[in-house]
Chain A
Amino acid sequence: MLRRAFLVGFVMMVSLAACSREHGPPRDRGTPHLDKVPALRGGGAARSPRIANYKLDAKLDTQAHSITATETLTWTNTGQSQVDKLPFHLYMNAFKNDQSLFMRTTRGEMRGAHAADNAWGWIQIDSLQIGGVEMANQLTYPGAPNAPTDQTVAELPLQQPVQPGQTIEINFKFTEQLPEVFARSGYKGEFNMVGQWFPKIGVRVGAPGAERWECQPHSAFTEFFADFGVYDVTLKVPFTYVVAATGVLVAVNDEPGGTRTLTYHAEDVSDFVWMADPYMITKSGKATLEDGSSVIVRVVYRPEHEAFAARHLQAAIGAIEKFSADFVPYPWSIMTVVDPPLDAASGAGGMEYPTFVTTEGDSVFIRPGMHFPEFVTVHEVGHNWFQGMLASNEPVEAWMDEGVNEWADSHVMADLYGARTSVIDWGGFTAEYEALSSELTEDPANSPTPIATAAFAFPDSDSYGATTYRGTNRAMTTLERLVGTTKFMAAMKSYAKQWAFKHPTGRDMFASLEKDLGQNLDWYFSPVFEQVGGLRLKVRSAHCIPAHGMRGVTGDGSTRKTLTDVDEPDTGAWQCEVVVQNTGVIHVPIEIELDFADGSAQRVVWDDHGGAAWKRFDVEHSSKLAVVKLDPDNKIALDVPIQHQYRLDGDGGASLRAGARIASWAQTLMQLVGP
């Protein structure tokens, strides 16, 4: 009987463990409703110069995960110099073989996801015509310095240069194979994430008359840089598939044979991405902006993600409202958040595109109160401002979108979930996003590269992440706190308004901030953004002695006498000496709070613009100095703050409590191994 019970239990257990989520066979999901809203919220005039406009017609083979497509690119030379070649990004060739620059620099691994050995991705240009003349055979692949056979950029020499102000039309036919997703784009099972999928022209940058192409080969840390334009895209998929895409759905047509054609339209965006999956469902909400208008927010997810979809939706709505209030209003009508299936999340999740982002972080272990999934959503939605609208050159100045966005995210997270609890409020633990993210990664001060480093010039992913994301966030946070949050937020809002739908550089942002803050900030920008070394602040020493008059020998000859503590007793006051040091390269004004035993406090300032590495403060006070606090208002986020506070008399109370807690865990283990 008992053996039978064990057997039954074992079978049940294995069955429970083996059971997987079954969605049933794909079925017709019904004809999707048209969005019936303009691509731009409220319609209206173009927000951008619309330099590169695309018409795409693609068909997805959901069995082979391949795409056949046509593309019509209409491009205008808005510069003042003629153009004699056209470079195109062919991002999907990053996954073509292990000799691409991307695969060499990622070693086939990105954010914990690994490339499959037998699921390569590629794009092939079947036809390229200009004015009806076939030119595909004239394409060349310049490669990359460390990857000569890289084909993520193709160049087309022009026999007839494109003159300033001239518009040309380029017609492509291409075939594409999606890789198994490990870096943003690809498939996993029946889930298809189609990003960076079509031939995309580079961007003309530089001073008027001396423009040059910016079209970097795709490497590990570089993302995307493109001109704004209008996209009209037709997607053919089986009618059992749910599709989400950039822009608004303007037409649906069901065709014989089970194919559904969906037409999307997007304006003033720099990219177009889409997702097709047979099991996804949608949860919708509305973000209400300050002018009373609203943005449709959708989370697209598989049913098992239901609990997290609500969290992502709330985060996305909050992010749109907060970013709109802090910078410029969200200009588009719809925001789509795709929550990929778990087995695709590390590869496809956590990526930003205009009006469309992917998120991740769902797990039963991420309890409500742990806001990591919400942060991913906030961060990716935030990219619709920092890069989506303020379209900086991400391969060259990644910090301008990743880092500045991180800084802005910290504000949104604090607004949504509380300043001290913005990322963790669970189990008696609390954490604020900016501080936690900084401490969980390498100290940017140890990075061998400054913040203002091109994305492809970082030595490794740790350095890239710590510097570009965390370093920039710390730098922005520190400057904000030094000049005052209200002033700084106003200056950033002004920068956003001035440069939305343009391509700002770091210098443009610095100049805008200096203008709006009314001060020269070279002393800050140069060491913080362009130098290696960071800020290394600590209380070097602090001690006090009882104050009294001079003791010892005084006078000469007959007037010589020796004064002792009887002659000069302690006055009851204390003479205290505090030495602080900064061995980093960044020098900012530092407030120092001296807390005395009687509860009083005194503040002094070390204005360290001069670059001195240390400073001594001598203070006489009626009460003994108890604690020295550097940066008591926590303005300086550029340094690990553990040595910013120093208690003169050691206190073991906290250590005893910690010891009690750890010893208690040890006692539980003891009782497991002994009586």
Chain B
Amino acid sequence: MGITKSSMRLTLGDLVGSGTRAIKRYTGTLLAVFVVQTLVVLGTMVAMAVVLAQAFGHLPMWDDAVDGDFVSLVICIKWANANFLACASIGFGALILWSLASWFLAGGIYGVLAQRPEGRAETARAFGASGAATYLTYARLALCGIPGWLASMLVLALCMSVAGPKLAHALSAMDLIGPVALLVIPVALVGHFFATVIDYARVELTLRHDTHEPGVVATYLRTVAFVVKHPLSLIHAGLGWIAFFVITFGYGYLAHDRPMYGATGAITLFVIRSGVSLARMAIRFGVLAGEVDLGGSRALPPRRVEVKAQPKTAA
């Protein structure tokens, strides 16, 4: 029983191992969530393509722009800026849509990882039930998280005011290290802290939803204390983000200076980027599994409702 294991005995290796096992055991769940995301991305891509084709379908200059001619790109953006604004709006809309969907999906994933159902049907049931049960709770939790994000923005603004002029005057990579560190690390730490708090609060709300019906605000505040007292939670989630960004920037580095032309290029681009996205999602999935283990070891929240006694079954 993972949830009875003391948090003091859980190590980083335990959490990482738990993530690896979860990816192996619930690969289907991971792929299902990825398919949902891919569908949203595909819809976004098609919508953007339609908007752009409306403006540029008859104008060959757009082909040059997409293939890396910077001047053509500038001309096209200036000429059809409303279309690009529409594309940005579509992208933003997709992001909002995904945020809303993610409350259900995250609830489903936590539910599966906590309940460890066997078989596709049970897993699907656990996923759907947990996602539906915690959706509105997660929505309230998102509101609780706003002050944390505002604090992150404040830190970013403060760091920017100090590091910005130094960045503008940087002449070499060495000049960049200090200001970039000042700009990135504080906001990353603060943001990471509050993101981790949200993660563990979700775990708590998912695990205790049926038994304790914990209040969202109280859970959030208790989780802040939990994360402060358990730096392992931050280190574990932080490793996940580091892996996430290593993959992202690694891909960016490898793709840099390699434009992919034509229809074949478009397909190649989509396949490769989908692979990158799947890898990143797998990492997040593994991190969530570790969080369920660590979160499950927390002291139980105050009970707000009596747990209904299980009806005795006839012998």
Contact = CB atoms under 8 A, between A and B. Distances in A.
Interface residues of A, number: 66
Contacts of B47: 659
Contacts of B45: 656, 659-660, 662-663
Interface in B169-212: 169-173, 175-179, 181-182, 185-186
Contacts of A18: 178
A290 to B, nearest CB: 32
A534 to B, nearest CB: 15
Interface stretch (B4-12, B114-122, B256-264, B300-308): B256-264
Contacts of A661: 269
A46 B270 CA distance: 68
A651 B178 CA distance: 48
Give the secondary structure class of A's interface.
Answer: helix
A647 to B, nearest CB: 5
A364 B175 contact: yes
Contact of B68 (A430, A664, A665): A430
Interface string A632-665: 0000000011111111101111111111111111
B266 A667 contact: no
A576 interface: no
A659 B48 contact: yes
Interface in A55-86: none
A646 B269 contact: no
B95 A653 contact: no
A271 interface: no
B256 A427 contact: yes
Nearest to A658: B66
A671 interface: yes
Candidate in B61, B99, B163, B244 with the most chain A CB atoms within 10 angstroms = B61
B181 A667 contact: no
A661 B251 CA distance: 13
B133 interface: no
B172 A364 contact: yes
A669 interface: yes
Interface string A291-313: 00000000000001101100000
A673 B269 contact: no
A428 B49 contact: no
A442 B225 CA distance: 56
B181 A674 contact: no
A666 interface: yes
B101 A436 contact: no
Interface string B13-52: 0000000000000000000010001001110111111111
A17 B266 CA distance: 41
A439 B60 contact: no
A565 to B, nearest CB: 29
B101 A674 contact: yes
A19 interface: yes
Nearest to B34: A675
A304 B173 CA distance: 12
Nearest to A627: B60
Contact of A2 (B58, B231, B258): B231
Contact of B49 (A645, A659, A671): A659
A674 B273 CA distance: 18
B58 A650 contact: yes
Contacts of B231: 2
Contact of B41 (A430, A655, A658, A666): A666
Contacts of A669: 91, 95
Contacts of B280: 668, 671
Q: Which of A9, A426, A657, A671 has the most chain B CB atoms inside 10 A of its CB?
A: A657
Nearest to A308: B171
Contacts of A674: 37, 98-99, 101-102, 105-106
Nearest to B55: A655
Nearest to A439: B74
B109 A675 contact: yes
B162 interface: yes
A34 interface: no
Given A430-B69, A664-B269, A675-B284, A641 B75 contact: yes
Interface string B90-101: 010011001101
B57 A651 contact: yes
Contact of A670 (B67, B98, B173, B258): B98
Contacts of B270: 660, 664
A652 B91 contact: no
B134 to A, nearest CB: 13
Contact of A647 (B46, B60, B170, B175): B60
A364 B285 CA distance: 37
A8 interface: no
B49 A675 contact: no
Nearest to B287: A675
B105 to A, nearest CB: 5
Given A642-B59, A661-B269, A655 B53 contact: yes
* Most chain B beta-carbon neighbours within 10 Å: one of A652, A654, A660: A654
A392 B185 CA distance: 54
Contacts of A553: none
Contacts of A439: 71, 74-75, 78
A432 interface: yes
A14 interface: yes
A17 B181 contact: yes
Interface string B261-278: 011011001100100010
A279 B173 CA distance: 21
A253 B102 CA distance: 77
A659 B46 contact: yes
Given A642-B59, A648-B58, A675 B288 contact: yes
Nearest to B191: A672
Nearest to B241: A672
B169 A343 contact: yes
A655 B66 CA distance: 8
Contacts of B51: 655
B95 A666 contact: yes
A362 interface: yes
B15 to A, nearest CB: 16
B226 interface: no
B136 to A, nearest CB: 17
Nearest to B280: A671
Interface centre among A627, A646, A652 (most CB of B within 10 A): A652
Nearest to B181: A13
B46 to A, nearest CB: 7
Contact of A657 (B41, B46, B266, B281): B266
A136 interface: no
B223 to A, nearest CB: 18
Contact of B171 (A14, A363, A653): A363
Contacts of B269: 657, 660-661, 664
A643 to B, nearest CB: 7
Nearest to A661: B269
A16 B277 CA distance: 34
B79 A647 contact: no
Nearest to B62: A654
Max chain B C-beta neighbours (<10 A), residue from A2, A17, A424, A431: A17
A71 B182 CA distance: 52
Nearest to B37: A670
Contacts of B171: 304-305, 307-308, 342, 362-364
A663 B91 contact: yes
B216 interface: no
Interface string A1-27: 010000001000111111100000000
26 contacts: A16-B177, A17-B178, A19-B178, A342-B169, A363-B170, A428-B257, A428-B259, A429-B68, A429-B73, A431-B70, A641-B75, A642-B61, A645-B61, A647-B58, A656-B45, A658-B49, A659-B45, A659-B46, A662-B45, A666-B95, A667-B273, A670-B37, A670-B98, A670-B102, A674-B37, A674-B106
The 8 closest A-B pairs by CB, nearest first: A674-B102, A650-B57, A16-B178, A659-B49, A17-B182, A655-B52, A659-B48, A663-B45
Given A656-B46, A659-B46, A659-B48, 5 more contacts: A641-B75, A658-B66, A662-B45, A662-B91, A670-B94
